[in-house]
Every structure is written in structure tokens, then in C-alpha cells.
Amino acid sequence: MRSVPAAIGAIATAALLAACSGGLTSTTPSADTGVGSAITRDAQGHLAPHWSRRATLIPDSMRPNHKMPLHGVSLAKKGGGGAGSGVGSFFVGELLGTELLKYAHRNTGNAPPACTIGAVNLPQGISSDDQGDIIEPDGGTATIQIFKGLDDCGASLGTISDTFGQPVDASTANAVNGKIAVANVFDFFGAGSISVCTLSGGCSANLTNPNMFAVSSVVMRKGSGDCWASAVDSSGNPTLTWFQGCTGSGQTATGYQNGSFGGLDIDNKGNIVSLDSIFGTATVYSGCNPACTVVSGPYTLQGNAVFGHLNKQAMTFAAADFINGQIDVYKYHQGTFGYWYSFNNGLTAFNGVEGVTYSPRSRQ
């Protein structure tokens, strides 16, 4: 299986890159702050890191260098659910973009963004809460930004400094008044971690586990407050770690069949939807506390995605397809995926289409 080499520079951007079999290593470039790894393949076809620029959860070797057309897109004459409709929206983040883009909830007509919010600096796994507010882990500033979402476009509700690491993903039921779980690809002490934060009190706890060397995603369950981290261990093996009540040292889930790390979400039945960013699949699990049972999948997606999220009714799933530079939308029903349509109007593939969320999030 392929594993993931990674790099971290001072307090700059969170970094994680796909690489070859033979183990996962963490390397820091000398006398540099914020330089990441662009990667190339060696004679055996393995991915080898070379220090040249800021790194990203999107493998550089898989990123196109120009705007891509839609692939397999299904288009209708008009989209629906624009501002003021009350049915929510998409928010999309590009790694090298400076704003988050808002789209109609049903963008089958490939309409352009209705408006933008920001400014942001190296956004990765954006998410929303029950109220539709947007949570943006800002890799360039090591902060978590909270924006007003749903049918509004962009008032800032506050910023949290991530005092433990470099954030790439976050999950919460209530961003303004509740606990927020934040995935740090690496923390400032070495391996990846989960920061536990609030808007009013900052980040008060840092959760680690020996099987979490580099962390890509986190999801928190409403009610129990349990959280799960998608990661790779120091040998490059994908792991899922369960933290009961989002506290303690965590337990490594058994029965987890992903081939690489990727985004997490929870549907309205309590199942965990897990993306495989390297192999381009989605698998639905139940339990994982700590024993996982496969509900369905793996499903092959239109392209590779690190992050994706369900809509409020858990009837559709949007994936940020960085291979094709677009958002792919799937019909979702009790753990099953069926491709529906894609949109890319206003997106630039080279910027790294990395984060997407519905506003509001899935009702758990």
C-alpha cells in the first residue's frame, strides 16, 4: 500500500503529502519557515519529496496545472437554493485561494458563486455546524476562523488561535458556544493531534495517540461528544482513533479498511462516512468505538478528494475533487452513494479544490 511522507515548517502551513511504500517520515527543511514539499516520482514510480514550496494535503503530483473542464457532469438549466432561500448552501475552499466561495444548495446548472467570504490563508477541511456557521481551519495562520453561514455571506464571528498545532480540519455542533474538535496534521511537539477548543476559551486540551503520526481529519458526534481522528501511523498505515467524550488517550479502531487517510462525516443514522484520499473511495462504517463494521463500500468516486460533507438531511454528499478541480455531488441514502452532478464555475484546479461543506451540516 502507499503511505504518506509529510513535512512541517515552523508555524506556517499544515502539510501532508502522498508518497511511496516504505514508511512515512517527517522532515523539516533547514532554516526555513513555511516551506513544504513538492513531490516527484523516482525510477521505481515511488513518490519522493523535494523541498521547494508550501505543502498541502493534496499531493502535488496529482494536481493539474490548469483549469480543468467538468468530467461526467450532469447539468440542468437552472440551479436552486440561492441566498435567502432558507435551504442552505455550499461553501468551497481552495488551498491557494484567499476567500471561501458560496454556491447555491443545488447547483446542477453550474452557476458561479453567489458571493465570497474571507480572508483566508491556506484553508483545507472547512465544515459547518448545526446553525450553518462555517468553521475554517486556517493553515497559514494556525487559527480557526468562524464565519456566519447559511443564507448570509460572511460576517466573522471570531477567531481561535490553535496553540497546539497546525489545523487542517474541524468539527462541532455549535461553533460559537460549543466545543470544537480540531485536527492538527502535526502539533508543535511532533506528531499529529486533536485540539479541543472553544471560541470563548481558546484551545484547552491536546489529544494524542501513538497511532496518530499525521492527522488529516476529525469528526465529533453530537450528544455523546465522542470524536474520531483519521490519520496515518509512523509506518504510513491508515488509522482511525476514537476518543470517548473527546478526551483521554483514545483507542485505535479495529475493522477500519481504508487504504489511506481522508475526511470524515457522520450521517443521520450515526454512521461514519470515511474518504480515502489516495485511492479515491468512500466507505461507510458503523460503531468504531472501537470496533468498526462496514455498512457499505468502498465506493469509487469521480476523482480523489481529501474532504467532503453530507447535507442536513444526509441525502446528498459533496466531495472536493482536487484531481478534476470541481465539486462532485452524490445522492446518499442509508450509506449508499450514487453520482449526481459536478460543478466548477469559479474554481481553479491549480489552486487546489480541497474543502467543501454544506451549510448547515448533517443532522446526526
Report pLDDT digits (tens) over 18-73: 322 233 333 322 222 222 223 333 343 333 332 222 335 665 555 554 444 444 44
Name the residue with higher pLDDT: 35 or 213. Answer: 213
Question: In this model, does residue 10 exceed pLDDT 80?
Answer: no
The domain limits of the chain are 89-359
Higher pLDDT, 27 or 363: 363
Residues 6 or more apart whose Cβ sits within 8 Å of residue 31: none
**Nearest alpha-carbon partner for 360 in 315, 311, 307:** 311
pLDDT, averaged across the chain: 81
Above 70 in pLDDT, residue 210? yes
Q: Which residues pair with 171 in a beta bridge?
A: 181
Please tell me the predicted confidence (pLDDT) of residue 334: 85
- Burial pattern 178-191, b for ≥16 Cβ within 10 A else e, equals bbbbbbbbbbbeeb
pLDDT at 154: 72
pLDDT digits (tens, 9 = 90+) for 76-126: 333 334 433 345 689 999 999 999 999 998 999 999 999 999 889 999 999
What are the distances in angstroms from CA 175 to CA 133, 148, 190, 221, 312? 7, 10, 27, 14, 16
293: pLDDT strictly greater than 90:
yes
Could you tell me the three cell numbers for 294?
A: 462496514
Tell which residue, 276, 267, 172, 161, has the closest CA to residue 216: 276
Kindly report, residue by residue over 339-358, the tens digit of the pLDDT. Answer: 999 999 999 988 999 999 99
Residues 6+ apart with CB under 8 A from 201: none
Kindly report the number of other CB atoms within 10 A of residue 291's CB atom: 14
CATH class of the region 89-359: mainly beta
Per-residue pLDDT at 220 exceeds 50: yes
Least confident of 36-45, 212-221, 265-274, 337-346: 36-45
Interatomic CA distance for residues 357 and 347, integer angstroms = 15
Long-range CB contacts (within 8 A, 24+) of 39-43:
39/5
Nearest residue to 319 (alpha-carbon basis) of 334, 333, 292, 299: 299
The 3-state DSSP class for residue 350 equals: helix
* 8 A C-beta contact, residue 134 and residue 361: no
CA distance 360 to 255: 30
Task: State pLDDT tens for residues 321-332.
Answer: 999 999 999 999
pLDDT the model gives residue 60: 55
- Rounded CA gap, 132 and 358, in Å? 8
Helix (H, G, I), strand (E, B) or coil at 283: strand
Please state, for a pLDDT cut of 70, what percent of the chain lies above it: 75
- φ/ψ of 170, rounded to 5, equals -155, 160
Alpha-carbon distance of 41 to 44, in angstroms, equals: 8
Cell numbers for 7, please give them. 513535512
CB–CB of 155/177 below 8 Å? no
C-beta separation of 195 from 218 below 8 A? no
Strand pairing report for 180-187 and 156-161: unpaired
pLDDT of residue 211: 97
Q: Given pLDDT bands bounded at 50, 70 and 90, which one contains residue 258? A: very high
pLDDT for the residue numbered 9: 26
Residue whose grid cell is 455523546: 224
Phi, psi of 119 (to 5 degrees): -90, 155
Helix (H) or strand (E) holding 231: strand 227-232
Give the pLDDT confidence score for residue 57 in this predicted structure.
Answer: 61
Give me Rg for the CA atoms of the chain. Answer: 18
